[in-house]
Amino acid sequence: MIVSKKQNSREILNLPKFNIHESKVVREPVEKKQGNWVGAPSIFEMDDILYLTYRIRRPVGEGRGTINRVAKSTNGTDFEDVFEINKNMLDGAPSIERSCLLHTGKNFRLYFSYVNPKNNMWQIDYVEAESVEKFDISSRKKVLDGDMLGTSGVKDPWIMKVGDYYMMYVSFAPLPPKNEPNLHSTGDAFATGLTTSKSGLAISSDGINFKWAGEVIGLGDSWDSSTTRISSIARIDGGFVAFYDGAYKIEQNYEEKCGIAFSTDLKTFNRLSVSEPYIEGPNGASIRYVDTVRFKNSFLFYYEQRREDGSHELRVAMVDSFRW
């Protein structure tokens, strides 16, 4: 992905988007009806193998986030599931969310978010093993939670390695200005309307012990005034472009759309999608959790998209040339 250093924000925003009409379905929801989702993808490549993490969700009252999986592929469209986390493995957690996979140079490490049943707050744990198939959830260890950060919860990790440092971007819910006794009663403070959802950064030299660097993208003034959640970051000439999910009211909490923001230091991002999303689905449908990877001379964009029946599916758009 290449962008001229002379290009301004408007030119970056107007650059070609991946073609959603030529994308392919990677995974379908368990049931094709409202509240059933498969998505929240994260993509990682190593030795010409693609590793896709994704989440399966059921409607509220039918299980919410139930399963996290890791799948492998050699072509980017046909994936084989090789590892699974069921929320029942997490002491009966109310829900699980997005995960992120990487390789430390020695082992594979999987970061995943879930609601801790002891306090009903979102937190992030990790497991590590020499291969994905050997992950043992009983050996999981906590990385971040709301109490450590002084927030109402933290979830949806996405990590990039920069030099010797691990940069973990997360969705966090700030503490309300006053005490809210019902903040965690539903097991999802993010969806209560008592707080908001913002993007934050934590930095680590070992990928385990993180130091909180705080907010990196604030709330917007229009379509993204309630939610700004970084889903991935792409390197470009002169800096970095972040894909983020935005919503303007709590009712859109599960139907965010994709925006982009630009940074030169990975700590401060300037919103480019000021008045409208960067990309959305057919008839204005939500597109969220965009992640991208360069693979065998193509660019692959993985994302979760709303269907006409109200469910969500996981799709990939393959682009032979994509100039940024």
Q: Where are the domains of the chain?
A: 9-319
Task: Give the pLDDT score at 15.
Answer: 57
Instruction: Grade residue 236 by pLDDT with cuts at 50, 70 and 90.
Output: confident
Instruction: Grade residue 3 by pLDDT with cuts at 50, 70 and 90.
Output: very low
**Exposure string (b/e) for 87-126, b if CB count within 10 Å is 16 or more?**
bebbeebbbbbbbbbbeeeeebbbbbbbbbeeebbbbbbb
Q: Of the ranges 18-22, 80-84, 169-173, 243-247, which one carries the lowest mean pLDDT score? A: 18-22
Instruction: Grade residue 322 by pLDDT with cuts at 50, 70 and 90.
Output: low
318 HSE (CA, 13 A, CB side): 12
CA–CA separation, 153 vs 115, rounded Å? Answer: 9
CA–CA separation, 179 vs 184, rounded Å? Answer: 11
Give yes or no for residue 4 having a pLDDT over 50.
no
User: For residue 104, what are its two tokens?
Assistant: 């430390």
CA–CA separation, 96 vs 282, rounded Å? Answer: 28
Task: Give the pLDDT score at 319.
Answer: 85
158 HSE (CA, 13 A, CB side): 26
Give yes or no for residue 98 having a pLDDT over 60.
yes
- On the 0-12 / 13-18 / 19+ scale of CB atoms within 10 A, 68 is buried
Contact 107, 129 (CB under 8 A): yes
Residue bearing tokens 């995960």: 99
CATH of segment(s) 9-319 = 2.115.10.20
- Bigger pLDDT: 324 vs 229: 229
14-47: per-residue pLDDT in tens? Answer: 556 889 999 999 999 999 999 999 999 999 999 9
3-state SS class at 209: coil
Task: Give the pLDDT score at 7.
Answer: 41
57-78: per-residue pLDDT in tens? Answer: 999 999 999 999 999 999 999 9
CA–CA separation, 60 vs 28, rounded Å? Answer: 19
User: Please, which residues have CB within 8 angstroms of residue 239's CB and are 6 or more apart in sequence?
Assistant: 3, 262, 263, 264
The overall average pLDDT reported for the chain is 92
